[in-house]
Amino acid sequence: MSDLPIRDELRGVEPYGAPQLDVPVCLNVNENPFPPSERLVADAARAVADAVRGLNRYPDREATRLRERLAAYLEREAGVSLDAGQVWAANGSNEVMLQILQAFGGPGRTALSFAPTYSMYPEYARDTSTHWVAARRDDDFGIDEDVALKAVAEHRPTVTLIASPNNPTGTAVPLGLVSALHEASDGVVVVDEAYAEFRRDGVPSALSLLDTHPRLIVTRTMSKAFAFAGARLGYVAASREIIDVLRVVRLPYHLSAVTQAVAVVALEHAVELQGRVAQLRDERDALAAWLREQGFEVAESDANFVLFGRFADRHAVWQGLLDHGVLIRETGPDGWLRVSVGTPEETTAFKVALVDVVKEQR
Ligand code: PMP
């Protein structure tokens, strides 16, 4: 046991993260498998050069140009009218979410979510000394409204967190539930839309509720649809009052000039990137259909990954796939595995390996 005066809740805790292994087919962290186009690379290189010429100065603390572009993007993507003052950005939606907990959680306060869900949520709560409560999702991974409202009444959360589409299940929640939770609680309701661009037609974004729901916060990321996980850019849309509170807890100059510059360039290429998103949605639906044909259970997915099962020994299947050079994720409820949607070649490699592994283990 270390003699360091670390906080009790951090003692013996391992840092969070999926294994980063060097294998031919990586389908484990819901990345976008398509690298940026050469045109985007060239434009980003020019923007980085310009940014580097000014690196003797601190970056724009308010990231104004980037926030204007993000607002315009959301307006096009979800048909809502927003201005830069209703948008905030940080290093990944991970940082955005931590800032939300710093502002609205804290000692004596509770954050509520619905499990199984994104494994980082309890860590944001722990790191901000916020009490963490996870109510249960249904067997089909949706959220029962009665269960949700009861949990709000019992725990009086200052932050209610709903991933929609949810990780690791891919489940999107109806907006009626978001509305009901907002009405039932005095706290902020955060809808984590990291995977929103992959939602199926007819599934609306919670952004459409912002006008009428003053304590609603919608978070997004450029890590998935924009194929920009390495750039680290997450963002949030909410009322100006909420954004102003997030500006209080942010570190000064938290978003580097280089990050701001490349994110603006990626937003200029949004149309080209959205073409890839459409392709990934089709691949996802085809993969889910194929898995069902093989006799697996498959959770309905509005994201760029699919949760499937059930396996008596999921670890053995995960390891078998890895032995075939395919890395997926052992996460979610016991018996299930999660696979990200890759390129057509990667998906084929996954299918071939899975058929082999299941045969080997019979
Ligand atoms: N929310 C959810 C539901 C996620 O699955 C992830 C990434 N796996 C994130 C947020 C964080 O994304 P990032 O920090 O890359 O924006």
| CATH classification of the domain holding 333 | 3.90.1150.10
What value does the mean pLDDT take over residues 228-249? 98
Q: Does residue 45 sit within a domain?
A: no
* Residue 38 pLDDT > 60: yes
Indicate whether 178 pLDDT > 80.
Answer: yes
pLDDT of residue 274: 87
Is 326 contained in some domain? yes
Residues 199 and 310 in one domain: no
Pocket test for ligand 1, best of 119, 192, 198 (most atoms within 8 A of CB): 192
From the CA of 29, give the closest atom in ligand 1: 8
Residues 74, 207: contact at Cβ < 8 Å? yes
Contacts of 155 (CB under 8 A, 6+ apart): 110, 112, 133
44 is a domain residue: no
State whether 56 and 135 are in the same domain: yes
pLDDT at 2: 73
251 plus 328 within the same structural domain? no
Write out the residue range of the structural domain in which residue 78 sits: 52-269
pLDDT at 181 over 80: yes
pLDDT of residue 203: 87
Q: Is residue 117 lining ligand 1, measured as CB closer than 6 Å?
A: no
d(CA 94, ligand 1 centre) in Å: 6
Task: Assess whether 73 and 216 both reside in one domain.
Answer: yes
- Return the ligand 1 atom nearest residue 93 CA: 16
Residues 338, 193, single domain; the answer is no
Packing angle between helix 257-268 and helix 38-53, nearest 10 degrees? 150
**Residues 262, 194 share a domain:** yes
Give the pLDDT score at 206.
98
Q: What pLDDT is stored for residue 18 in this prediction?
A: 81
Domain-located, residue 95: yes
Residues 56, 78, single domain; the answer is yes
| Spatial separation of the C-alpha atoms in residues 90 and 284, rounded to whole Å | 29
Is 42 inside a domain boundary?
A: no
Looking at residue 1, its pLDDT comes to 57
What DSSP element (H or E) covers 37?
none
For range 243-252, the mean pLDDT? 98
Average pLDDT, the chain: 96
What does the pLDDT average to over 268-287? 95
User: What single letter denotes the amino acid at residue 302?
Assistant: D
- What is the whole-number distance in angstroms between the Cα of residue 95 and the centre of ligand 1? 10
233 and 132 inside one domain: yes
Asked whether 128 lines ligand 1 (CB < 6 A), one says no
Across 286-315, average pLDDT: 97
- The predicted model gives 290-319 an average pLDDT of 97
One-letter amino acid at 296 equals F
State the total domains in the chain.
Answer: 2
pTM: 0.97
The verdict on residue 3 lying in a domain is no
Same domain, 318 and 260: no
Q: Of 223, 253, 269, which closes a domain?
A: 269
| Ligand 1 lined by 192 (C-beta under 6 Å) | yes
Percent of the chain with pLDDT over 70: 100
Q: Is the CB of 93 under 6 A from ligand 1?
A: yes
3-class SS shares of the chain: helix, strand, coil, % to 5: 45, 15, 40
pLDDT for res 3: 87
Based on the fold, state whether residues 65 and 168 are members of the same structural domain.
Answer: yes
Task: Give pLDDT tens digits for 73-94.
Answer: 999 999 999 999 999 999 999 9
- Please state the rounded mean pLDDT for residues 324-343: 97
